[in-house]
Amino acid sequence: ALTAGIVGLPNVGKSTLFNAITKAGAEMANYPFATIEPNVGVVEVPDARLARIAEIVKTNKIIPTTFEFTDIAGIVKGASKGEGLGNKFLENIRQVNAIVHVVRAFDDDNIVHVNGTVNPVDDIETINTELVLADLESIEKRYDRVSRSAKGGDKEAKAEYEVLEKIKPLLEAGKPARLAEFTEEQEKIVKGLFLLTTKPTLYVANVSEDDMSDPTASEYFQEIQEYANAEHAQVIGLSARAEEEIAEMAPEDQAEFLEMSGVSEPGLNVLIRAAYSLLDLRTFFTAGVKEVRAWTFKAGAKAPETAGVIHSDFQRGFIRAETMSYTDLDQYGSEKAVKEAGRLRSEGKEYVVEDGDIMEFLFNV
């Protein structure tokens, strides 16, 4: 499964947020085949459509899809020089598919800030600099060799050289490689470079509990937003401490607490959805009297591939998929009415699945 790694300086609230994630964690009985490492938190992806589908097809059993966060511990400063546990830190980041970068955006004299004062942009840059330096090092190792082969007429080397030429000046200016624009062919080459700064990144402003009703009003949040805008990254605000408390509450207390705090849903839900879309993930459903279930697929996937999310046999023997869209089911109010309106589609191997499709797969065994 794809995972987002939680990174940040010490004392910014990473563990607090990760605790909130594990406490809110998925009902694992629903996912018997999931293997979970201790530093991985599995959460259910909140999706209001599930309850509506369950109401229509008359089932009580709802199984949301899940998303995994990985807690990346380790020493940050000097990581690119391989100091202390720094190498391990970078290796752990290399393993994840996206980065959730937690930034301290709260004042609290009792909690020491590693750099002395709360300064979100400095904090972000401390980490990003390590990532940039690590990428620069991996690129420089290749650069001379590739440029020589390119000049010697090697076509593949020339293609890679062009990619390196786009990335190198960015890194040298302290900027992430993801700011470069690549063709589809170049994207493949970039993938093979296993860089850190090409990973999709989301910033989480950990604001004080006083700011949780409107995190965007916090000055720290705004500083982070400005920084993120410059690198086309998204920012969300939440209070990790409040999220940890919310995750421990009974549902009715949770609702009361949220209302009192002036927010419509836990910040964790916002984070989960943001991380999900950061990785370009989409949801399709299966629905019957036994259960309604949500499944994750990568945007652009065709029907057989999404069938394979459920079981590899479904993919291997794929014949077709009886498909309706959630909006049609919601609007017509029953499967029968959708059928009568001619809105039930029989989709084949080339069908590109859309978010919200409700599918039944027909397959050969």
Cα-based distances in Å from 289 to 42, 56, 139, 283: 26, 10, 54, 20
Q: Is 11 labeled as ligand-binding?
A: yes
Min dist CB 17 to ligand GDP, Å, is 7
What residue type is 357 in one-letter code? D
Cα 237 from Cα 208, distance rounded (Å) = 10
Extract the tokens encoding 189: 């080459």
Cα-based distances in Å from 194 to 10, 157, 197: 26, 17, 9
Q: Which of 240, 247, 307, 353 binds ligand GDP (CB under 6 A)?
A: 240
Are 29 and 306 a contacting pair, CB within 8 Å?
no
Comparing C-alpha atoms, which of 100, 117, 72 is closest to residue 235? 100
Min dist CB 214 to ligand GDP, Å, is 15
Nearer to ligand GDP, 15 or 234 (CB): 15
Q: Please give the size of the binding site for ligand GDP, defined by CB under 6 A.
A: 16
Q: Which residues share a beta bridge with 324? A: 358
Q: Is 327 labeled as ligand-binding?
A: no
Tell me the H-state helices in 59-119.
86-95
263 binding ligand GDP? (CB under 6 A): no
The interface with ligand GDP within residues 167-206 (CB under 6 A) comprises 206
Q: Which of 1, 34, 51, 111 binds ligand GDP (CB under 6 A)?
A: 111
Nearer to ligand GDP, 67 or 220 (CB): 220
Min dist CB 60 to ligand GDP, Å, is 37
Q: Is 115 labeled as ligand-binding?
A: no
11 binding ligand GDP? (CB under 6 A): yes
Q: Which of 4, 5, 7, 14 binds ligand GDP (CB under 6 A)?
A: 14
Min dist CB 213 to ligand GDP, Å, is 13
16 binding ligand GDP? (CB under 6 A): yes
Nearer to ligand GDP, 206 or 225 (CB): 206
Cα 316 from Cα 361, distance rounded (Å) = 12
Q: Is 110 labeled as ligand-binding?
A: no
Buried-state track 302-330, b at ≥16 Cβ within 10 A, e below 16: bbbbbbbbeeeebbeebebbebbbbebbe
**Residues in the site for ligand GDP, rule: CB under 6 A?**
8, 10-16, 106, 108, 111, 206, 208, 239-241
